[in-house]
């Protein structure tokens, strides 16, 4: 589809009015969103990378995506033919999925291969608490603190996925917790600087590789918007991660819908948005409809950074 920038900017302006988005500070998105006067036709293709937490509480996202991904693939291809999709999975480390048909497996083009991949990570990693970066022979019940390494998976999206030059670039991220930064270590349960305890939940060496500043910088340089699905309300005691954690429970929203230390949330810093993961879990928010809307709103509209 080819549309002049001016027309599209007006469309997005209308779609992003107050209340159209939830969380993530979306209210400031339209402040500078005056329609551009550039009438050149947009010939963007669509690149969408899923960055998914595959830890034990996240199986429902993989299951819902398995059921709904065909609608996402067809909607993206309706915007522009030959939409590309990537998949990066994470717990305390990450893995860039390599089961697609293009670019050494990093690029999927159809729902079927993505569905197979979602099933694989759910069955072999989510259901066994096995870190995806460790591979299928990696240790199980290996996740000693609640925080998950979304940050390094996001950084991998910037430098491991073959984004096309003329692509509208979107990351869809799902997680139910916040993250740590270098030099912390996700495998250091008690934060003593060593990863040598073998009683449950066993320690392991899962160093955080990046900082938030580095990751956001790479996303912005790549003009990649991040749309996250995360918890925006505190979970009840019964609905909490079963291990200890490094940061207080009140911080689980940090980086997604609330600032992380002094830095604004990642979706705010990349002109994306955050949505309520609990609404996805309860079935009141459709993953596919939400993804299709943000891809449409992003299409041919460079992020306002």
The contact set with Ca ion (CB under 5 A) reads: 55, 92, 143, 148, 188, 190, 192, 194
Shortest reach from residue 51's CB to Ca ion, in Å: 14
Residue 128 half-sphere exposure toward CB, CA atoms < 13 A: 16
Pick 208 or 224: Cβ nearer Ca ion: 208
Pick 93 or 113: Cβ nearer Ca ion: 93
Helix axes 5-15, 287-298, angle to 10 degrees: 140
Pick 92 or 271: Cβ nearer Ca ion: 92
Q: Which residues contact 26 (CB under 8 A, 6 or more apart)?
A: 16, 20, 268, 273
Pick 123 or 192: Cβ nearer Ca ion: 192
Pick 164 or 202: Cβ nearer Ca ion: 202
* β-pair partners for 83: none
Shortest reach from residue 211's CB to Ca ion, in Å: 18
Tokens coding 182:
């270098």
15 conformational bin, left if phi > 0, alpha if psi -120 to 50, beta if neither: alpha
Q: Which residue is nearest to Ca ion (CB)?
A: 55
Shortest reach from residue 173's CB to Ca ion, in Å: 14
Shortest reach from residue 276's CB to Ca ion, in Å: 17
Helix, strand, coil tally for the chain in percent (to 5): 35, 15, 45
Shortest reach from residue 241's CB to Ca ion, in Å: 5
Q: For the beta carbon of residue 78, count every other beta carbon within 10 angstroms.
A: 13
Q: Which residues contact 43 (CB under 8 A, 6 or more apart)?
A: 2, 80, 166
């Amino acid at each position: 589809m080819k549309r002049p920038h001016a027309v599209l900017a007006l469309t997005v302006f209308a779609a992003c009015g107050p209340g159209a988005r939830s969380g993530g500070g979306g209210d400031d998105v339209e402040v500078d969103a005056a329609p551009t006067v550039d009438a050149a036709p947009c010939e963007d293709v669509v690149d969408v990378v899923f960055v998914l937490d595959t830890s034990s509480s996240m199986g429902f996202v993989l299951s819902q995506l398995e059921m709904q991904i065909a609608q996402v693939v067809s909607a993206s291809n309706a915007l522009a033919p030959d939409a590309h999709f990537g998949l990066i999975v994470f717990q305390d480390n990450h893995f860039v999925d390599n089961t697609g048909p293009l670019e050494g497996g990093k690029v999927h083009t159809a729902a079927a291969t993505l569905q197979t991949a979602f099933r694989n990570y759910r069955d072999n990693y989510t259901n066994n608490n096995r870190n995806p970066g460790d591979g299928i022979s990696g240790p199980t019940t290996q996740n000693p603190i609640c925080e998950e390494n979304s940050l390094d998976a996001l950084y991998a999206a910037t430098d491991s996925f073959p984004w096309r030059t003329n692509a509208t670039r979107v990351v869809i991220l799902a997680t139910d917790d916040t993250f740590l930064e270098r030099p912390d270590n996700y495998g250091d349960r008690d934060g003593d600087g060593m990863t040598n305890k073998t009683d449950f939940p066993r320690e392991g060496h899962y160093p955080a590789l990046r900082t938030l500043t580095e990751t956001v910088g790479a996303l912005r340089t790549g003009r990649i918007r991040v749309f996250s699905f995360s918890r925006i309300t505190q979970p009840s005691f019964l609905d909490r991660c079963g291990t200890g954690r490094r940061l207080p429970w009140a911080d689980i929203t940090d980086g997604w819908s609330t600032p992380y230390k002094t830095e604004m949330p990642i979706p705010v810093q990349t002109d994306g948005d955050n949505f309520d993961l609990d609404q996805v879990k309860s079935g009141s928010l459709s993953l596919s409809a939400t993804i299709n809307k943000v891809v449409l709103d992003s299409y041919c509209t460079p992020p306002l950074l």
